Amino acid sequence: MLNLIMLTSYIFNAIMFIQTNHPMIMTIIVIIQTIIAAVYLGLLSLSYWFCYILTLVFLGGMLVLFSYITSLASNELMFMTSKMIMTTILLMITLLILMFFMDPWFYTTMTKNTDTSTMELINTFNTEATPHLLKLYNKPTHLITLLLVNYLFLTLIVIVKITNIFQGPLRHKF
Write down the pLDDT at residue 137: 64
CA distances from 20 to 44, 93, 110 (A): 31, 19, 36
Write down the pLDDT at residue 166: 62
pLDDT band at 169 (very low <50, low <70, confident <90, very high): low
Per-residue pLDDT reduced to its tens digit, 141-158 = 777 778 888 888 888 888
Average model confidence (pLDDT) for the chain? Answer: 73
**Cα-based torsion angle of the residue sequence 54, 136, 140, 142 in order, rounded to the nearest 10 degrees:** 80
Domain range annotation of the chain: 2-162
pTM over cut 0.85: no
Write down the pLDDT at residue 90: 82
Which position has the higher pLDDT, 171 or 61? Answer: 61
Residues 47 and 132: beta-carbon distance below 8 Å: yes
Residues 72 and 23: beta-carbon distance below 8 Å: yes
DSSP notation for 19-69: H---HHHHHHHHHHHHHHHHHHHHHHSS-SHHHHHHHHHHHHHHHHHHHHH
Per-residue pLDDT reduced to its tens digit, 43-70 = 777 777 778 888 888 888 888 877 777 7
Q: Quick one: DSSP state of residue 172?
A: P
The fraction of the chain above a pLDDT of 70, given in percent, is 66
Residues 127 and 136: beta-carbon distance below 8 Å: no
